[in-house]
Amino acid sequence: MQHDSVGGGAAPETCSPATKRTVLIATTVSAFITPFLVSSVNIAIPTITQEFSLNAIMMSWVVTAYLLSATIFLVPFGRIADIWGRKKIYLAGNALIAVSSFLAARATSCVMLVSARTLEGVAAAMIFGAGIGRLSDRVEPRLVASLGMGMCAVGLALLIGINSRTPLGYVVGCLILLGLGFAPFSSPNTNAVMSSVGKQFYGVASGTPATMRLTGQMLSMGIVTMLMALFIGTAMIAPRTYPLFLMANRTAFIIFAVLCALGVLASLARGRVHTEMGDVNDHPGN
C-alpha cells in the first residue's frame, strides 16, 4: 500500500514564505479566472446574440461548449498531471487560457467563438486537474455542505418570482446568497475527497468532484436549453419574446430549487466523515 510523504514518514517538502505567497496568489487568480469565463459570457449574452444574430438554442452553445469540454477532460488531465507533473500541466493550462480567450475576443463568427470556448474549457480542465490544495475543515462536512446547498435552494426559490419590474438590487441580493451558499457546499466536499487518497492520486481526486460539479452544470444547461426550445423555439430573444423568456426562467428556477432541496436531504443522509476517520486513526493497527 502506497502512502503520501506524511503518512510514509518521509520529510515533508518545505518552501519559503515568499514562494508560498506566490503560489497562493497564482492559484487564487486561476481559481477566479476559470469560473469567470462562464459568468462573464452570461453577462455578455445580449451583445453576443445581437452581434452574431443568434437564436436562443445557438446562444446556449456558447456557454455549453466550455462546460462540455471541461467536463470531458477534467479527470484525464488530472491523471496526466499525476504522471507528467502538475506544474507543467498547470502552466500549460494557463497559457492555453490566454490564447483561447484572445481567440474568443477576436471571433468573427459563431463557429469561431464556440471553438474558442471549447479550447477555454480544455484549458480550464488542465488548471482544475493540476491545481491541488488541501482543506482543513473541522466541522462535519455533511453539515457544512448541507447548509451551503440549503442557502442555494433559498436563493433559487427567491428568484422564481422575478419579472420586468423586479429591482436590480433584489436580483443582486439573490445572486450573492447563491454565491455564499456555493462556498460552504464546495469546500467540505473537496476536503472529504482529497483527504481520502494518497498524494500520488491528487490529480484524479481533484478532477473527480470538479467533473461531477461541471456535469451538474451541463445538466442545468441542458434543462435551460430544453425550456428555451419549448417556450421560445428558434426565435431570437427580443422584447416580443421577453414574457416567454421569463416564463422559461421561472420554470427553470422551480426545477433547480426542488433539486437543491433534494440535495440537502441526500447530503444530510451520508455518513459522518470525522467520526469514521477518527475511529480508524484510533487503532494503530489500521
DSSP codes, the chain: ----TTTTTPPPP---HHHHHHHHHHHHHHHHHHHHHHHHHHHHHHHHHHHHT--HHHHHHHHHHHHHHHHHHHHHHHHHHHHH-HHHHHHHHHHHHHHHHHHHHT--SHHHHHHHHHHHHHHHHHHHHH--------S-HHHHHHHHHHHHHHHHHHTTT--TT--HHHHHHHHHHHHHHHHHHHHHHHHHHHTTS-GGGHHHHHHHHHHHHHHHHHHHHHHHHHHHHHHTTT----GGGHHHHHHHHHHHHHHHHHHHHHHHHHHHHS--HHHHHHHHHT-TT-
Most confident of 24-28, 78-82, 131-135, 279-283: 78-82
Query: Which residues does 118 contact at the CB level (< 8 Å), separation at least 6?
Result: 65, 66, 68, 69
Grid cell listed for 90: 498547470
Query: Residue 141: is its pLDDT beyond 80?
Result: no
Cβ atoms of 212 and 151 closer than 8 Å: no
**Nearest Cα residue to 160 out of 258, 244, 252, 261:** 252
Calculate mean pLDDT across residues 14-39.
Answer: 75
Give residue 216's region: left, alpha or beta (phi > 0; psi -120 to 50).
alpha
pLDDT at residue 5 greater than cutoff 90: no
* Cell numbers given for 134: 488541501
- If you search the block for the grid coordinates 442545468, which residue do you land on? 220
- Gap between the Cα atoms of 77 and 14, Å rounded: 26
What pLDDT is recorded for position 242?
86
Contact 127, 69 (CB under 8 A): no
- Residue 17's pLDDT band (boundaries 50, 70, 90)? confident
Q: pLDDT-derived band of residue 117, with 50, 70 and 90 as boundaries?
A: very high
Q: Looking at per-residue confidence, does 215 or 226 come out higher? A: 226
When pLDDT is cut at 50, 70 and 90, the band that residue 268 belongs to is: confident
CA distance 51 to 110: 9
pLDDT value for 188: 67
Sequence-distant (6+) residues with CB within 8 A of 83 are none
Read off the pLDDT of each residue in 61-67 and give the average, rounded to a whole number: 86
Q: Give the CA distances from residue 87 to residues 15, 83, 133, in Å, rounded to whole numbers and listed in that order.
A: 15, 11, 13
Residue 92 pLDDT > 60: yes
Is the Cβ–Cβ distance between 147 and 95 less than 8 Å?
no
Judge whether residue 286 has pLDDT over 50: no
The Cα 20–Cα 280 span in angstroms is: 32
pLDDT value for 103:
93
| Alpha carbons 249 and 120: distance in angstroms, whole number | 27
Bigger pLDDT: 29 vs 118: 118
What are the tens digits of pLDDT across the range 156-185? 999 998 888 899 899 989 888 888 787 677
pLDDT of res. 12? 44
Average pLDDT, rounded, for the chain = 78
For 233: left if phi > 0, alpha if psi spans -120 to 50, otherwise beta; the answer is left
Question: Which pLDDT does position 73 carry in this prediction?
Answer: 85
Q: What is the pLDDT of residue 275?
A: 54
Q: Is the pLDDT at 264 greater than 50, yes or no? A: yes
Scanning the structure block, which residue is given the C-alpha cell 467520526? 275
Q: Pick the residue with more confidence: 200 or 216?
A: 216
pTM over 0.85: no
pLDDT band at 116 (very low <50, low <70, confident <90, very high): very high
Q: What is the pLDDT of residue 134?
A: 39
